[in-house]
Amino acid sequence: MSEPRLYLVRHGESEANVAGVLQGQTHGALTAAGRDAAARLGRALASLSVAERPTAILTSDLRRAVETAEIIAEALGATPHLFPAAREWNVGVLDGLPAAALVDAIQHSGLRAEEFVPSGGESLSQLQARAVQTLAGLAHKAADGEHVAGRARTLLVSHGDFIRMAIGAAASMAIDEANSLKLRNTSLSEFTLSNGAWRVERIGDTSHLDE
């Protein structure tokens, strides 16, 4: 039996991405370009061999991720399932503000970026802990004999900061290093499960956008 895989996909381009504002755990909506990119990824995944094609689709319950997952799932003839644990970084009262507002708030706090907690939100360290817990749960299900057939190749549609923290945790990166990873919208990162731990195989693949 091949090693279980986890495909992590960042949602398609959203209106907030274009506007350059923080959207955190607000829902957001995809742009036409975002929907097109999701469709391109769906077609690329549908063209894979049966041994590589996702067998389950999970998605953050935020609308921009759900919409991306629905487009991909249609191409695969599958049904996405909501997975709230994969929500984006909760930036609290900073939601809806220009992205520069987060940088300013961190600088004014005098704290390291991973320690800063926006009012009503969570720190990057807390986000990383959530990502670690999520990966552990997915590993347990993938390794469980009762679930392995359905979770042999799970695709999870999530968000940039969540995926960065997940990659960082699996690759033993420092938070600031993981936070610097460049992940374009609809980029695909791939993990394989070996001896109970996720191993990073690909980061931020956007080859589907070249079709």
Q: Is residue 118 part of a domain?
A: yes
Strand partners, 191: 6, 200
Q: Is residue 111 part of a domain?
A: yes
Q: pLDDT means per 10 residues in the chain (211 residues)?
A: 90 97 96 98 97 95 98 97 98 96 96 96 98 96 65 93 98 96 98 95 97 74
Q: Is residue 101 part of a domain?
A: yes
Task: Supply the range of the domain harboring residue 186.
Answer: 5-206
pTM for the model = 0.95
Q: Is residue 198 part of a domain?
A: yes
Interatomic CA distance for residues 204 and 188, integer angstroms: 5
pLDDT at 145: 54
Total domains in the chain come to 1
Domain holding 119: CATH number? Answer: 3.40.50.1240
pLDDT at 150: 60
pLDDT at 144: 72
pLDDT at 78: 96
Q: Is residue 61 part of a domain?
A: yes
Q: Is residue 211 part of a domain?
A: no
> For residue 102, what are the contacts with CB-CB under 8 A and spacing of at least 6?
22, 91, 94, 118
pLDDT at 39: 98
